[in-house]
Structure 1
Amino acid sequence: MLDRRMELLRVLDRVGTITGAAELLYRSPSGYSRQLSSLADELGVQLLEQHGREVRLTAAARRLVSYADEVKTSWLRTRASLTEESDGGGRLRIGAIPTSLSRLVVPLLGDLSAAHPLLSIRLSEVDAPRCFDQLIADQLDACLVPARAGVPPQSDRRFHQRSVIVEPIDALVPPEHPAAGRPGISLKTLAEDRWVLPGDERSGHEEILSACHAAGFTPQVQHYAQDTQAVSDLVAATGAVSLTSRFATYRSLAVRVPLTGSPQPGRQLLLCTAAGAENTAALGTLVELIRLRTPVTDLGED
């Protein structure tokens, strides 16, 4: 178990700024700085150094963070084993992107609770990289996110990542489009169409661009939207096209068409935890349920 001030230093190392770290932990920046100054005085070392308007961790601080990471991993591993050896209770705070939350996690809550009746479950809608800040800050126990920008590399020893399932990606076309009703199309089929994309720096923007570039074209972007319902409404109303998750739901005349190719276009979903917290029976049950009961071939719309 760590001195709380060392936990504050770990969060600062992850988030990058005192203001951001303080906001994440619902503290004032001044109070946050005082706690770190107190730790530095107690240890007799400088932990932070000023660079313009920002602060950076000193070499001593980074050594301390490395030590704190090892201790926290060991503590989480011990806590998990104690929970498993007791009555199987405890808590499981799961964060997931909206499509995964509604189509993967929520339908399995009954089965998960039946397998672990004493487990307290809390769900949150999250996205990367914010959810990894929350893992470090001990505000989440696990998050379910796609492998994409914002997800730390596998070499980051603060986190554990496991592949859960491949989320199929479909084309979204207006009802009058030649591809509507076909059993499947290649992405290159849509090279001459106008597109709806999420805005710059929004989730999904680079993913769609990368997929189109891999298919040999740059999409002609006409509209920008991220919410699935807004995207499908624009597709149906304007004749533009887009891509959507197989797990996303919407209410409009836009038609979902499977993308073909080898490999079939999709995005890998990862279940991520803080290192040391990955081997719990509840998480194992959740992964097994997702893999066994997810209807990835279901193209039905609400």
Structure 2
Amino acid sequence: MLDVRKLRLLRELAHRGTIAAVAEALSYTPSAVSQQLAALERETGVALLERTGRRVTLTLAARALAARTEPVLAALAEAEAELAAYRTGLTGTLRVGAFPTAVRTVLSPALVTLSRTHPGLELRVSELDPAAVPDALRADAIDVALVHEYDFTAGPDEPGLETEPLMEETVHLAALAAGPLRAHRAAPWIAGTPGTLCHTMTVRACEAEGFTPRIRHHADDFGAVLALVAAGQGVALVPDLGLLDPPPGLVLTPLATRRRTRIAYRRGHAAHPLIAAARTALHTTRTPPIPPAVGDRGKPGCPPDAPPPLERHR
């Protein structure tokens, strides 16, 4: 019978690409990962890895086996969740990952509710960019997470994971002067670090309007982004939850672009008591989108209505 632990290593190699990355994610040594995968090859009697120097690639047989591993791990997770339901009281550790604006606005009240409702629960929070969440969940580094996507950055479904909708926000153009997105095509722009969803969304939203933004500054904290806008350093796109304390003098123009937050967890874990408690707390205490303190209603001259819907890119 195939060893589930070895199958999991193969699954991780299919996702991460290198033995070193698998070893780092799962707290193994690279040699231990190599030994386990070699043992899996012997057990199956089929070549799973093609070795070229120090690099390895998966054979077609290995990719087929890795794909078959996902439903096996999901079935085991469902069995684990069913057994956990028989325990009395909710105890143990719940590890939650979330992006910065969600930590202070959405996650914090949910943590208060969880602590009061389940005092035996130990809560641990990690700040994670949504792009890092799938690997963290599959590696069992966290149990549940908050992720987001924009209209222009929706990605493919992640194998082995499930998500459910939590909330939706409006994205605003933050500037010192009124006008639709295309009116700021010549302005310098402020965006997130390249590789983040916020950076990608900014670039694609501008491209949908017929221009490529000239990005002068990169900042991942929306407070810093708004401070740069207020200092006349450029314009930026900011969702509702990034507008908690906007500096005075900003013009915030609501766009048709939306940011959607979802709850993510490993497939088969939805009914696990820990995950179910987290889901319930998040849905119960979720913070609705916060209207901007300045903008179309707070500064004369800013158009009262959002511009026409932008073309949606996926």
- Do the structures match in fold with TM over 0.5? yes
CA distance in 2, matches of 1:161, 1:51: 37
1:144-163 mapped onto 2 (5 Å cutoff): 144-147=146-149, 153-154=156-157, 156-163=158-165
SS in 2 for 1:204: helix
Q: What is the CA distance between 1:199 and its match in structure 2?
A: 4.3
Q: Which runs of 5+ in 2 are unaligned?
A: 295-314
CA distance in 2, matches of 1:225, 1:288: 30
Match of 1:223 among 211, 214, 217: 217
CA distance in 1, matches of 2:191, 2:248: 15
- Residue in structure 2 matched with residue 34 of structure 1 by the alignment: 35
Q: CA RMSD in A?
A: 2.9
- Residue in structure 1 matched with residue 284 of structure 2 by the alignment: 289
CA distance in 2, matches of 1:6, 1:63: 12
- Residue in structure 2 matched with residue 94 of structure 1 by the alignment: 96
Q: What is the CA distance between 1:152 and its match in structure 2?
A: 5.4
* Closer, same or farther: CA 196–152 of 1 in aligned 2, 3 Å: closer
* Closer, same or farther: CA 52–234 of 1 in aligned 2, 3 Å: farther
SS in 2 for 1:76: helix
* Counterpart check, 1:165 vs 2:167: yes
Letter in 1 for 2:258: G
- Residue in structure 2 matched with residue 238 of structure 1 by the alignment: 232
- Residue in structure 1 matched with residue 75 of structure 2 by the alignment: 74
- Residue in structure 1 matched with residue 64 of structure 2 by the alignment: 63
CA contact (8 A) 1:141 1:273 kept: yes
CA contact (8 A) 1:187 1:260 kept: no
Letter in 2 for 1:55: V
SS in 2 for 1:201: coil
- Residue in structure 1 matched with residue 115 of structure 2 by the alignment: 113
SS in 1 for 2:96: strand
- Residue in structure 2 matched with residue 20 of structure 1 by the alignment: 21
- Residue in structure 2 matched with residue 272 of structure 1 by the alignment: 264
CA contact (8 A) 1:259 1:265 kept: no
SS in 1 for 2:130: coil
Letter in 2 for 1:238: G
CA contact (8 A) 2:174 2:238 kept: yes
Query: Which string of whole-angstrom CA distances, capped at 9 and with x for unpartnered residues, describes residues 112-154 of structure 1?
Result: 2333343332211112332111111111112211126887523
1:120-131 mapped onto 2 (5 Å cutoff): 120-131=122-133
SS in 2 for 1:121: strand
Letter in 2 for 1:276: G
CA distance in 1, matches of 2:211, 2:65: 48
* Closer, same or farther: CA 152–193 of 1 in aligned 2, 3 Å: closer
Q: What is the CA distance between 1:61 and its match in structure 2?
A: 2.1
Matched-pair identity in %: 33
CA distance in 1, matches of 2:76, 2:209: 47
CA distance in 2, matches of 1:267, 1:146: 7
CA distance in 1, matches of 2:288, 2:232: 31
CA contact (8 A) 1:134 1:140 kept: yes
CA distance in 2, matches of 1:151, 1:35: 35
CA distance in 2, matches of 1:215, 1:88: 54
Letter in 1 for 2:76: W
Match of 2:138 among 123, 136, 139: 136
TM-score under structure 1 length normalisation? 0.82
CA distance in 2, matches of 1:151, 1:141: 22
CA distance in 1, matches of 2:249, 2:262: 28
- Residue in structure 2 matched with residue 9 of structure 1 by the alignment: 10
SS in 2 for 1:70: helix
Query: Which string of whole-angstrom CA distances, capped at 9 and with x for unpartnered residues, describes residues 23-68 of structure 1?
Result: 1122222222122112222332222112565312223322332332
Q: Between Structure 1 and Structure 2, how many residues are aligned?
A: 288
Q: What is the CA distance between 1:165 and its match in structure 2?
A: 0.8
CA contact (8 A) 1:128 1:151 kept: no
SS in 1 for 2:33: helix
